[in-house]
Amino acid sequence: MRILVAGFGTRITDVSSLSSEGELVAADSPEQADSLVARGDVDAVVAGPEPWVRTWVFGLPADTRPAVLLTGAPPERLIAQADDWAIDLGGAPELRARVRVAVQRSRLRRRAVRRGNVDPLTELPNRRGVIIALLHAAARHRRQGTRLSLVLVDLDNFKRVNEQQGHDAGDRLLRKVGRILRGSTRKDEVCGRIGGDEFVVVVSGDSKHADLVCRRIDLALRDEGIGATCVGEELADGEDVRELYRRVDTQLRARKIQIRDYGPTPLSARASAARPG
């Protein structure tokens, strides 16, 4: 276990007893503490009376946030969100016990949240899980300048499958699509089912890579006799991820209307797409 100790200055001996619980990591500045927490490098944060615990801790998704133990007199809104709080550290045994309980509580919270973020049918992230992944990717995009794109996949004639073959057949189809999506994307690309017959892929890459992901998925699905419409776009400068989703969703609906009226683009025009290694 790694415990970030922040806000104690030269009084690091106040929390030195925690070394028996795991590796202590001392941050020299708020910026360094920000970086350690954002990267997920710590399991717990023990923050002293200095104003080091800011919204970066509580702005993280509940399934990734470390355990937080506050001391001193922070604002009530922070105390309400922390895993534990004490006006002072108390003795070494009490401090160690508090940290152990806070970490256990944090782990239980993470497991509960993660169970609620998975679609039980396809075992892909559900809408909530996708939103969390997208917010993570957007934060990384702002912090590191990485590229971010979103791909939407909508199955063709799924309602007809349910009506003509039954809902069991529809469920089997959705599970199969989930497996195909996982096999057609990279490990750093998050695939999810956001409802009904609509799937999404959060792509770490630009619009060209998003287009490649679309072609891979399209070919993999059609090889299995599954028709789908796929659209991908890159996050624009200054654009919010919600705006990106609405933009891609609008293009997807327009593409489905075009396909309905004029027919799909021949696969031969996309046959050069490479499958992921």
Q: What average pLDDT does the segment 38-51 reach?
A: 77
Number of domains in the chain: 2
Shared-domain flag, residues 85 and 156: no
Shared-domain flag, residues 58 and 169: no
Q: Does residue 122 fall inside a structural domain?
A: no
Shared-domain flag, residues 184 and 60: no
- pLDDT at position 162 is 87
- pLDDT at position 226 is 93
Q: Is 211 considered catalytic here?
A: no
What is the distance of C-alpha 55 from the center of its chain? 18
- pLDDT at position 222 is 92
Which has the closest alpha carbon to 153: 128, 132, 174? 174
Q: Does residue 277 fall inside a structural domain?
A: no
First-residue to last-residue Cα distance in the chain:
35
Shared-domain flag, residues 146 and 254: yes
Which two tokens mark 67? 């355990």
pLDDT of 63-109, one tens digit each? 677 888 888 887 787 777 788 888 877 777 888 888 888 888 888 77
User: For residue 206, what are the domain limits?
Assistant: 127-270
Report the CATH number that the domain containing residue 67 is assigned in CATH: 3.40.50.2300
Q: Does residue 275 fall inside a structural domain?
A: no
pTM (two decimals): 0.58
Query: 3-state DSSP call for residue 153?
Result: strand
Continuous H helices in 148-240: 158-165, 167-184, 207-223
Whats the size of the chain, residue-wise? 277
Give the rounded percent of residues in the chain with a pLDDT score beyond 70. Answer: 86
Query: 3-state DSSP call for residue 26?
Result: strand
Which two tokens mark 87? 């006006």
Give the rounded percent of residues in the chain with a pLDDT score beyond 90. Answer: 32
Cα separation, 220 vs 254, in Å, equals 23
Query: Among 83, 197, 211, 218, which one carries the catalytic annotation?
Result: 197
Which two tokens mark 206? 């630009």
Q: Which helix (H) or strand (E) holds 150?
A: strand 149-155
Shared-domain flag, residues 46 and 169: no
Shared-domain flag, residues 102 and 137: no
Cα separation, 78 vs 53, in Å, equals 8
Shared-domain flag, residues 68 and 203: no
Report the CATH number that the domain containing residue 188 is assigned in CATH: 3.30.70.270
Cα separation, 256 vs 266, in Å, equals 15
Domain final residue pick, 84, 115, 146: 115
Query: 3-state DSSP call for residue 44?
Result: strand
- pLDDT at position 176 is 95
